[in-house]
Amino acid sequence: MSLINTQVKPFKATAYHNGKFIDLSEESLKGKWSVFVFYPADFTFVCPTELEDLADNYAEFQKLGVEVYGISTDTHFAHKAWHDTSDAIKKVNYPLIGDPTGLLSRNFQVMIEEEGLALRGTFVINPEGFIKVMEVHDNGIGRDASELLRKLKAAQYVASHPGEVCPAKWSEGAATLTPSLDLVGKI
């Protein structure tokens, strides 16, 4: 079953954020767009490149009213230690959520049970707490923050323009489509 258009399930978690430990829940997401970026583990290889790319683009996410959350099955203590020792992770100003029980990873269907690690899963969540974009892939394939921003902008556009849809390769300011009987067979 797809998670698209389903509501984020209840959770409680602790994150490392800007030198502090903070408590989060599904209620923390309400009222703003959120991006959940699951990754396998701290102190690894592809993960810091992705989190650094998100950090380099974090201001753009913030301009769009979006909070980014990095999530792995490590603890919030491990996130702090990684932040304190990695030049790439020192750039991260968004919350890094600890999921040592795997509840969030299971709720978002990214848990690799036999390894106790998460797959690389990306989820865009609207201000009402519903999942609008989901992408899950093999842990050997890193993600690109600019592509995530494009998808996020498309999700926000569609949400604020009922009846319109964004075609392939859509970018902000480009033409959209309005599905109708007159459009059938003309694309």
* Residue 175, token pair as written in the block: 């033409």
- Kind and range of the H or E run holding 160: helix 145-160
SS3 131: strand
CA-nearest of 91, 88, 85, 54 to 71 is 54
Instruction: Point out which residues pair with 102 in neighbouring strands.
Output: none
Residue pair 21/15 in contact (Cβ under 8 Å)? The answer is: yes
Q: List Cβ neighbours of 80 (8 Å cut-off, separation of 6 or more).
A: 16, 21
166 counts as catalytic: no
Give the active site residue among 3, 8, 24, 47. 47
Active site residues: 47
